[in-house]
């Protein structure tokens, strides 16, 4: 991933030196070469890659070309914002999507099933950023109120912070909940047709025990997989949502860094997203053995 991240970014035409001189309206070759040498981008690409890896090994993430500050000092306050928003959206999607999927499967081909499937289809069709703008416009039109559009730290005002994050989390989580509802419904329909479920019904067990204790427990593995994938996707896929709600997160800042060809910022942010994806999949794989005793990993 480090190789892909490093070299793909440099395939894009131009660098920050070209951007700066284009904005100034003139090109002085001696000044340009001096600036490239100062930023370290006059070296061969393989040498720049080695320097980056050497810095990562000692905890040095490099210095931002645009802000002339340590890349880590710029990135560090962005990570909690995106992780919190992604976590809240994931919690919202689980709370809404999994029970809806179970009810839809249990009440298959009923009015409730059709309504829930329609709601899930709407969730998959509506972009989260558009839904976020609709939420803001609705609050203004109906209540004459708009959430704070300047980031509020939880240490300064926890209620205001939660209100600021719950709205975009609901907008993003609605789409994820629709996907979870579909996956849960499909998995539950397969499990509910199994012999052991029919046996549990025949033995006179209550619907709560059969559905939630036996059926859902055995249908949960694909749902957990999707939850892990969705969380990892949200870490890097909240660009427009963070822009709509003016949240200083990783995804929004990443786009700005790409436009400026700020290599140290882009490399480290994308590497962070890649690490989150790997860890999410690792945690999901580890949860398999805990959720289903039939799953065993060879030593």
Predicted pLDDT of residue 94 = 92
Residues 66 and 124 in one domain: no
SS3 label, residue 70: strand
The arithmetic mean of pLDDT across residues 127-153, rounded, is 81
Predicted pLDDT of residue 91 = 92
Question: Is the per-residue pLDDT at 162 higher than 70?
Answer: yes
Residues 115 and 223 in one domain: yes
Residues 156 and 191 in one domain: yes
Residues 43 and 163 in one domain: no
Residues 94 and 71 in one domain: no
| Angle, helix 263-291 to helix 250-259, in steps of 10 degrees | 150
Residues 69 and 130 in one domain: no
Q: ∠ at Cα 64 (82, 1), nearest 5°?
A: 60
More confident residue, 52 or 25: 52
Predicted pLDDT of residue 32 = 67
Residues 234 and 130 in one domain: yes
Question: Is the per-residue pLDDT at 18 higher than 70?
Answer: no
Q: ∠ at Cα 59 (57, 63), nearest 5°?
A: 115
Residues 103 and 192 in one domain: yes
Q: What is the CATH number of the domain that holds 232?
A: 1.10.3720.10
CA dist 219 and 225 (Å) reads 11
Residues 87 and 223 in one domain: yes
End residue of a domain, out of 203, 223, 247: 247
pLDDT tens string 165-177: 888 888 888 888 9
Overall number of domains in the chain: 2
Residues 32 and 108 in one domain: no
End residue of a domain, out of 18, 49, 75: 75
Across the chain, which distance is largest between two alpha carbons, in Å? Answer: 86
Residues 82 and 67 in one domain: no
């Amino acid at each position: 991933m480090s190789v892909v991240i490093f070299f793909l970014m440099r395939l894009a035409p131009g660098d920050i030196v070209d951007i700066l001189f284009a904005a100034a309206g003139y090109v002085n070759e001696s000044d340009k070469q001096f600036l490239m040498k100062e930023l370290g981008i006059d070296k061969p690409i393989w040498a720049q890659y080695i320097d980056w890896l050497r810095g990562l090994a000692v905890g040095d993430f490099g210095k931002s070309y645009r802000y002339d500050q340590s890349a880590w000092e710029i990135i560090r306050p962005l990570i909690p914002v995106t992780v919190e928003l992604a976590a809240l959206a994931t919690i919202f999607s689980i709370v809404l999507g999994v029970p809806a999927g179970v009810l839809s499967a249990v009440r298959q081909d009923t009015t409730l099933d059709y309504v829930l499937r329609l709601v899930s289809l709407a969730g998959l069709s509506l972009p989260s950023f558009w839904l976020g703008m609709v939420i803001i416009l609705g609050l203004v039109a109906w209540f004459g109120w708009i959430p704070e559009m300047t980031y509020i730290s939880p240490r300064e005002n926890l209620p205001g912070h939660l209100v600021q994050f719950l709205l975009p989390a609901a907008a993003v989580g609605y789409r994820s909940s629709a996907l979870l509802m579909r996956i849960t419904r499909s998995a539950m329909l397969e499990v509910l047709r199994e012999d052991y479920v029919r046996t549990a019904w025949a033995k006179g067990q209550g619907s709560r025990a059969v559905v939630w204790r036996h059926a859902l427990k055995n249908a949960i593995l694909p749902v957990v997989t999707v939850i892990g994938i969705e969380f990892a996707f949200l870490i890097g896929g909240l660009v427009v949502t963070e822009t709509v709600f003016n949240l200083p997160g990783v995804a929004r800042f990443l786009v700005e860094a790409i436009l400026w060809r700020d290599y140290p910022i882009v490399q480290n942010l994308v590497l962070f997203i890649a690490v989150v994806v790997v860890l999410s999949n690792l945690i999901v794989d580890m949860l398999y053995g805990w959720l289903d005793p039939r799953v065993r990993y060879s030593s």
